[in-house]
Amino acid sequence: MPELPEVQTIVNDLSGTVVGKRIESVQVFRDAIVQLDPERFVNRLTDTVIRAVYRRGKYIVFELSGPLWMVVHLRMTGKFSVQPSPAPVHIHNRVIFQLGDRQDMIFNDLRCFGTIDLTEQIDKYPALNQLGLDPWDHRLTAPGLYKVLQHRTANIKSLLLNQTIIAGLGNIYVSEILFDACIHPDTKGYQLSKKQVTQLLRSTRTILSDALTFNGTSISDYRRVDDKQGTFQNFLKVYGKAGSPCHRCASTIQKIKQNQRSTFYCSQCQQKKRSFKRLPA
């Protein structure tokens, strides 16, 4: 569900509603979500104050007094909402944080893929340290990305989904980015030219910025903290558009499976370039 623009929107919403609040009590309804003993989880969180909320890749990090950090991943269907306490009962509510001002911060997750963990050393948290650069990080450059992709034999679609290369992209935006950059999703990493990689990075930043401006893409599950929808779904050019005419050339948008996941693209605009490049050593 949530990719970088959705996670950033949620972080922005939470920053405006829960920062400065004290966690008075915590209820865990589904133990598997919490990555440590639930009783210990509750004890360590109780009476901490939320100092800040920020994003790294698709992870949400709550900086708490202690100091302590709560690291959350929404996976496919995780959501946060903030409601007056006591919040109405909902079968998919997995963890409820009761805040000091009679507000509840609720973690709701239909599929239970989401995770919530605690750490006292955020700098040494493995999942975050394994992430690649964020798309807007100035250290992420076209020559640098080209160099990485040159040694890769996988298709560019799955390489863009790989969070250790660039952090934050998911299935919707990768299709949109490759369409914007006119790159065929089955192009192998090493087959991309410098020019294509430059365009790829430019498209990545443009698409994500636009999606963030519209508070993300609400197709089925994703909702903001106040339950409002994002609106970028109104601007998608290829994702979920199989059979529709291409915005650029009017030929039919195709749907294929790559590594068990759907990819949407225009076979006219995104042609595989004939390449004589050798396989990487």
Partner DNA sequence: AGCGGAACCTGTCGGC
Partner DNA sequence: TGCCGACAGGTTCCGC
The active-site residue out of 3, 6, 63, 176 is 3
Contact positions toward DNA, by CB under 7 A?
1-3, 6, 32, 57-58, 73, 75-76, 91-92, 110-113, 127, 151-155, 158-159, 161-163, 170-172, 189, 216-222, 257, 259-262
What's 67's DSSP letter? T
Instruction: CB nearer to DNA: give 152 or 241.
Output: 152
Alpha-carbon span 257 to 121, nearest angstrom: 40
Smallest gap, in angstroms, from Cβ of residue 20 to DNA?
A: 28
The active-site residue out of 21, 202, 205, 261 is 261
Instruction: CB nearer to DNA: give 102 or 272.
Output: 272
Using DSSP's 3-state secondary structure scheme, residue 23 falls into strand
Alpha-carbon span 274 to 249, nearest angstrom: 21
Instruction: CB nearer to DNA: give 159 or 238.
Output: 159
112 contacts 94 by C-beta, under 8 angstroms: yes
Active site residue 261: yes
The active-site residue out of 55, 58, 94, 188 is 58
216 contacts 222 by C-beta, under 8 angstroms: yes
Smallest gap, in angstroms, from Cβ of residue 220 to DNA?
A: 2
Cis-peptide, bond into residue 67, ω within 30° of zero: yes
Burial of 197 (0-12, 13-18, 19+ CB in 10 A): buried
In the block, residue with structure tokens 């805040």: 99
Smallest gap, in angstroms, from Cβ of residue 241 to DNA?
A: 12
Smallest gap, in angstroms, from Cβ of residue 216 to DNA?
A: 7
Number of CB atoms found within 10 A of residue 224's CB: 20
Smallest gap, in angstroms, from Cβ of residue 161 to DNA?
A: 6
227 contacts 218 by C-beta, under 8 angstroms: no
Q: Are β-strands 23-28 and 59-64 bridged in parallel, bridged antiparallel, or unpaired?
A: unpaired
Helices (H) and strands (E) in the chain, counts: 7, 10
Active site residue 58: yes
Instruction: CB nearer to DNA: give 82 or 230.
Output: 230
Cα dihedral 180, 184, 190, 193 sign: negative
Instruction: CB nearer to DNA: give 259 or 271.
Output: 259
What amino acid positions are annotated as catalytic residues? 2-3, 58, 261
